[in-house]
Structure formats: structure tokens, C-alpha cells
Amino acid sequence: MKVLVFYATIEGQTGKIARFVADELETSGHEVTLVDAADMTAEVTPEEFDRVILAGSVHERRHPRLFEMFLAAQRNALDPARTLLISVSLMAAFESSRNRAQDFVDEMEMRTGFTPASVALVAGAVRPSSYDYFATQVVRHIVMRGKSYRPEDGDREFTDWAALRARVAEFMAA
Ligand SMILES: Cc1cc2nc3c(=O)[nH]c(=O)nc-3n(C[C@H](O)[C@H](O)[C@H](O)COP(=O)(O)O)c2cc1C
């Protein structure tokens, strides 16, 4: 099948996730087009693909602006039944906050007017070694408040790669 993997990343984890998904699909024999939302030269026509996978990370409750703009602009070209949204956040990393991870998706759907049939809430990563002071404070006092993690603990990847592989395989088989 022809598959579009469109992604938007701020610190790189969603880029890593998108490349992982693309590699998995290629290994399974699919023809994959991988597009970074930041690539202004890319011409993307979702109608040409059998499946579309959209991956974007959450920062301060929102997916990247370019990501939301793409969804809003292409909502009529995107078939909800053939689209998987991968929402990458830290709320998705903890059972106690997964409903908040879903809230970010619901809010984005309201803003963009696009509702995919399949959604995967995927845990991202924390990288205090590359954050500035502001980002460190946001992660410490807002994002990870009440969680068993402090920025002093260092960089940590929460992404469950085996679960992601299974979720993508399930979507492709549907
Ligand atoms: C400044 C900042 C704000 C963030 N805000 C949120 C948030 O509101 N909710 C959340 O679940 N995760 C939040 N995160 C965590 C990111 O979603 C997580 O680090 C993710 O892996 C980032 O993906 P990216 O590297 O592709 O940008 C935030 C991270 C940073 C650094």
C-alpha cells in the first residue's frame, strides 16, 4: 500500500517515532512517503495514499501550529477511516493522565474540524539536557507535576516501541 507519514516535531521525539513507523512499514513491503511539516517545499496530496499516518507532539496543550494548519487545510482530502493520528505527549506516559492526553486530541479536532477514526496516544520523551530554563520549569512545574520524575533525573524516553509497532500493524490491517 502507499502510505503517507506526515509529522511535526519540536524536540525530535516525534521525528524519531515517524521514522520508526516508516521503517516498520517499509520492512512490511509498503511504499512510504515521509514528510516533515517544517518542509515548506513539500507538496502533499493525501488523496494519492491508501493510508495516512499523522504524528504530532504536544507542547503546552497543543500540537504544533503547522501540524494543525495541515489538518485544517486538508480535512476534506483526508479520509478519517484511512487515517491514524499519533499524538505524542507525556500525559500519555502515565495511566493517571491518559484522559488528559485524549483532551489534547479532542481540542485539536475541534480547532481543525478533522476527526480521524483511529487515534494512538503515544508517550514521548523528556530531554532536560537540551531544554532552556523556561522549558525546564514548564516540565518540572506543569507537565510532570505530581509524577515520579524530576528534570534532575536526566533525559528519559517513555515511548513503548513494541506497543507502537502493534498499533500501526493493527491500523494497517483494518
Ligand atoms: C516546554 C514543553 C511543554 C510541554 N507541554 C506538554 C503538555 O502540555 N502536555 C504533555 O502531555 N506533554 C508536554 N510536553 C512533553 C512533550 O510532549 C514530549 O516531550 C514530547 O516527547 C515532545 O515531542 P517532540 O520531541 O517531537 O517535540 C512538553 C514538553 C516541553 C519541553
Q: What is the mean pLDDT of residues 125-148?
A: 93
**Cα–Cα distance, 17 to 87 (Å, whole number):** 11
Best of 13, 59, 96, 134 for a ligand 1 pocket test (most atoms within 8 Å of beta carbon): 59
Cβ proximity of 37 and 4 under 8 Å:
no
* pLDDT in the model for residue 148: 86
**Which three cell numbers, joined as nine digits, stand for 118?**
483511529
Give this prediction's pTM.
0.97
* 49 DSSP 8-state letter: -
Categorize the per-residue pLDDT at 42 as very low, low, confident or very high, splitting at 50, 70 and 90.
confident
Q: What is the mean pLDDT of residues 34-42?
A: 91
Atom of ligand 1 nearest to the CA of 125: 21
Domain ranges of the chain: 2-124+159-173, 127-157
The residue among 67, 17, 14, 60 whose CA lies nearest residue 44 is 67
What superfamily in CATH does domain 2-124+159-173 come from?
Flavodoxin domain (3.40.50.360)
Say yes or no: CB of residue 60 within 6 Å of ligand 1. Answer: yes
Say yes or no: CB of residue 143 within 6 Å of ligand 1. Answer: yes
Over 84-134, what HEC string results?
Answer: EEEEEECHHHCHHHHHHHHHHHHHHHHHHCCCCCEEEEEECEECHHHCCHH
